[in-house]
Amino acid sequence: MKKFYAFSLFSLLSASLMAQQVQDFEDLEAVSKKGFFPTYVKGLFKDFTDFGKPFDYSGGLGINMRSYNALGTTPRQDPFLYTANANFNARIYKLNLPFSLTIAAKNTEHAYPDPKELYNAFKRDVSNSIASQKQRFVRFGVSPRYKWIKTHFGHRSMDFSQYTMSNLIFLGAGTELTPGKLRIGAMVGQLAKAEPIDLSLIEPNLPKFQRKGWGVKLGYGTQEDFIDLVLFQAKDLENSIFIPDTIPQQITPEHNEALGLVFQKMFFKKFRLKTDIGASAPVAEHEGR
């Protein structure tokens, strides 16, 4: 495995660095002489209050509803489903605090909003039963941003590369740092929640392991010209669910590692050359249970 990653990394870096022009790295030499701390960190909050109004806010609210009814055949969807989306952005001088919230709920018996059933669904959601775990859908997150520092908390998504981590929603924390031409990113969190097997069903559902992952990105450049190296790992937690040996639907936890490199170059301000390469190494945790 180590030889595989070493060979992949050497091949990707060699192919991309040959195309990168030397003048793109001129300011990197200047920063190295002056020092990273004096250049980007020392005066980070010096002009924090130089923004006019000390506080401002904005936001929005949206509600989507769907009603479904089938005549003469078996219904294939829930009769009623609604999704509420809310976003709120607070600005304290130059610090931006964007919040987002998504809530989904459904009626399983009526094709219209039934307050009684929605109330019962809320009670199921606050319980810790298997049914509530399967039906619950609430996502909340915030991504504070100040100058070249951006962080993520809660349910968020980040884009590292097309073949490693591309806008994958996770529950955890992440950061994106862009001082000068440096491009640094990192995340860690839950990629999928555990879904235990429900033995009360006539045909037991297919269980799912809790999946966690982490990823890092290290790059250099601008929005137009850059090179990024990405490492991403996802792993199922074996002890997150219990599957009796008598159940025919046996699954095994999975483990995947991916290495990617993205290179982009603009020519004559109109033509863009972009290369996105990825190498994946899925690993089965166990051959059988």
Secondary element (H or E) of residue 60:
strand 55-67
Predicted confidence band of residue 44 (pLDDT cuts 50, 70, 90):
confident
| Mean predicted lDDT score pLDDT of the chain | 78
Q: Which two three-digit tokens encode residue 157?
A: 């998504």
169-178, 194-203, 262-271: least confident range: 194-203
Q: Is the pLDDT of residue 239 over 60?
A: yes
> Looking at residues 267-288, what average pLDDT do you find?
79
Q: Which two three-digit tokens encode residue 7?
A: 């060979």
Q: CB neighbours of 75 closer than 8 A, spacing ≥ 6? A: 68, 69
The reported pLDDT for the residue numbered 144 is 95
7-11, 62-66, 69-73, 208-212: least confident range: 7-11
HSE-CB at 163 with a 13 A cutoff on CA atoms is 14
Please count the helices (runs of H) and the strands (runs of E) in the chain. Answer: 5, 12
The reported pLDDT for the residue numbered 130 is 47
> Looking at residues 61-85, what average pLDDT do you find?
78
The reported pLDDT for the residue numbered 60 is 94
- State pLDDT tens for residues 125-152: 555 444 454 455 678 899 999 999 999 9
10 vs 210, which has greater pLDDT?
210
Question: Helix, strand or coil for residue 6?
Answer: helix
Q: Is the pLDDT of residue 262 over 80?
A: yes
List % helix, strand, coil for the chain (3-state, nearest 5): 20, 45, 35
Q: Is the pLDDT of residue 83 over 90?
A: no
67 vs 12, which has greater pLDDT?
67
Contact 61/85 with Cβ under 8 angstroms?
A: yes
The reported pLDDT for the residue numbered 270 is 85
Q: Is the pLDDT of residue 172 over 90?
A: yes
User: What is the C-alpha R_g of the chain?
Assistant: 24
Predicted confidence band of residue 19 (pLDDT cuts 50, 70, 90):
very low
**Burial letters for 176-192: b for 16+ Cβ neighbours within 10 Å, e otherwise?**
bebbebbbbbbbebbbb
> Looking at residues 186-215, what average pLDDT do you find?
83
The reported pLDDT for the residue numbered 66 is 80
- State pLDDT tens for residues 145-161: 999 999 999 999 999 99
Residue type, 78: D
Contact 177/145 with Cβ under 8 angstroms?
A: no
Pick the closest to residue 285 from 256, 258, 250, 255 (CA basis): 255
Predicted confidence band of residue 282 (pLDDT cuts 50, 70, 90):
confident
4-8, 47-51, 58-62: least confident range: 4-8
Question: Helix, strand or coil for residue 207?
Answer: coil
Q: Is the pLDDT of residue 108 over 90?
A: no
The reported pLDDT for the residue numbered 251 is 80
Tell me how far the alpha carbon of residue 175 is from its chain's centroid.
11
> Looking at residues 274-284, what average pLDDT do you find?
83
Contact 111/79 with Cβ under 8 angstroms?
A: yes
The reported pLDDT for the residue numbered 58 is 93
Q: CB neighbours of 151 closer than 8 A, spacing ≥ 6? A: 143, 144, 145, 173, 174, 175, 176
